[in-house]
Amino acid sequence: MMHSRPKTLMMMIRTEEVEVLFLPPGGGGGDAIPITRVYQGRLNWDAAVMPRPQIPSIDSLLAHPDLADAPARLAVQAARLAVDQLRPEALAGKDLVIDDFAACAKSALIQLTSMRTRPAINLTGVVLHTGLGRARLADAAAKAVADAAESHAVVEFDLETGQRGDRQSHVEDLLCELTGAQASLVVNNCASAVLLTLTAMAKDKEVILSRGEMVEIGGSFRMPDIVRASGCRLVEVGCTNKTHLKDYADACTEETAAFLKCHPSSYQVVGFTAAPIPELLAELAHDRNLTLIDDLGSGCLVDSTKWGLRKERTLAEAVKSGADVVLASGDKLLGGPQAGIIVGNVSVVKKIAKHPLARAVRIDKLTLAGLEATLRLYREGREDEIPIWRSLGRSDESLRWAARKMAGAWSGQADVVRADSRIGGGSLPGMVVPTWCASIVPNSADKLARALRQSSPAIVGRIEGGAVLLDPRTAEADEIQAVCRKLKELSK
């Protein structure tokens, strides 16, 4: 059957290359001739005489010396990415050779083979930067994590008896000693500590929370939502700025199980404010046979005023004022790994530990090792080895020296300027400490900041008024040197 030749043939292109063969009329004998040109998804019959764009086959790319040594699976992935990336240019008629595709595949390969979770030098001026993993661990804690990772570790094993032991006992003595609590439980993070505690202590019952403490922690963790997600009925009392003891007392019913206190760790209400004295709230809770849950968040174990900061309520103070259970993060002002700390009365902590959800939010051996080592530093009075406190304790002179070094490494315009470091990570809101920054003024601050971010380790500063500000507060001496080397290289 003979067809008349269509003027333009439209078709959808699904694969990366489509070859349409022209069969000479009559069908008999003769080779099929490739005659098509693929153009923006449309096959143009009339363009049959045009050359096909030069898109190399995956096989030919894999044979290229740039990719020859790469692991096969990754090389295929990289080659496909390169072809995908350059195809539009090739189709648009740009003259590309196989080396262009290979170079593109090679950089894709570097991306594919580099760790995404990689070290960063934090020069943002935010000491606890959630995007950069909050607290960095003390050397002793990092070593404990590495040791526990590299080998089998004594996690739930009693070396005395050779029997199954208790994972929590590693840190329980330390936490009790440091907070004055009777018992402790550590879980995955503070969010899960809140969820677990509410579920175990108040499921299907009412939980009273002040409107002044309806906190959103970030990452869509909102106190009222968590209360509901824990199966509790939320009872709001008081106003944003003022809640009185009487408000709590009046709201109590037969159905009430707990008062929940939530530390406004990431914001401040100032001015005409009031909240009940914690001791009196605890007294009221115990009068009514209720549990007082105090979500402290920041997890401070030391007197923050020693570092020139505002007074931050400590875990010990919260325990002392009569809360039945106090909750905190491991990686905020405690300066340890991500963890949820639960300390309090034996009976309450036992009840929480027995709840099936406790197993679902169990702490892992690496965190346990890092947390134990961090707590040991506190017990030994070695807080200055914990990076958060070391950062906050840096002298003005050493900050200025480091800022000068960095500014000096840039061959263009650069100054040393006064600025503020912040605590961040949902701790001590509004609190700033004076620092010195290198202020680099490149042609494009965006471009320089990007180049710094993409170096290895990633160097993260902040942009302010056309300059890249680099705050040395949270960087160690070797990191400052690495930054200087990079700045020299980039300003060449």
Which residues lie near ligand PLP (CB under 6 A)? Answer: 189-191, 194, 217, 262-263, 265, 295, 297-298, 329, 340, 426
Check: CB of residue 431 under 8 Å from CB of residue 125.
Answer: no
What are the residues facing 210 on neighbouring strands? 237
DSSP assignment of 444-486 equals -HHHHHHHHHTSSSEEE-EEETTEEEE-GGG--HHHHHHHHHH
The token duo for 315 is 């875990």
Closest CB to ligand PLP among residues 222, 242: 222
Check: CB of residue 314 under 8 Å from CB of residue 301.
Answer: yes
Q: For the chain, how far is it from start to end, CA to CA, in angstroms?
A: 70
The token duo for 434 is 């004076």
Residue nearest to ligand PLP (CB): 297
Q: How far is the CB of 399 from ligand PLP (least distance, A)?
A: 27
Closest CB to ligand PLP among residues 109, 325: 325
Q: How many CA atoms lie within 13 A of 268 on its CB side?
A: 9
Q: 240 vs 101, 207, 222, 445, 490, CA distance in Å?
A: 60, 18, 15, 41, 50
Closest CB to ligand PLP among residues 263, 390: 263
Neighbour order of strands in the sheet with 467-470: 413-422, 432-441, 467-470, 462-464
Q: How far is the CB of 428 from ligand PLP (least distance, A)?
A: 11
Closest CB to ligand PLP among residues 134, 394: 134
Closest CB to ligand PLP among residues 340, 472: 340
Q: Are strands 221-222 and 206-210 parallel, antiparallel or unpaired?
A: unpaired
Cβ–Cβ contacts within 10 Å for residue 222, how many?
15
Q: C-alpha angle with apex 180: 188 to 304, nearest 5 degrees?
A: 75
Q: How far is the CB of 143 from ligand PLP (least distance, A)?
A: 23
Check: CB of residue 187 under 8 Å from CB of residue 361.
Answer: yes
Q: How far is the CB of 297 from ligand PLP (least distance, A)?
A: 2
Q: How far is the CB of 72 from ligand PLP (least distance, A)?
A: 41
Cβ–Cβ contacts within 10 Å for residue 458, how many?
14
Closest CB to ligand PLP among residues 331, 479: 331
Stated as kind and residue range, the H or E segment containing 296 is strand 291-297
Q: How far is the CB of 358 from ligand PLP (least distance, A)?
A: 16
Q: How far is the CB of 295 from ligand PLP (least distance, A)?
A: 5
Closest CB to ligand PLP among residues 193, 406: 193
Report d(CA 27, CA 45) in Å as an integer: 19
Closest CB to ligand PLP among residues 336, 461: 336
Closest CB to ligand PLP among residues 36, 192: 192
Q: How far is the CB of 273 from ligand PLP (least distance, A)?
A: 17
Q: How far is the CB of 336 from ligand PLP (least distance, A)?
A: 11
The token duo for 405 is 């070094």
Q: How far is the CB of 460 from ligand PLP (least distance, A)?
A: 20
Q: What is the distance of C-alpha 272 from the center of its chain?
A: 35
Closest CB to ligand PLP among residues 217, 318: 217
Report d(CA 82, CA 96) in Å as an integer: 12
Closest CA to 171 of 77, 301, 285: 301
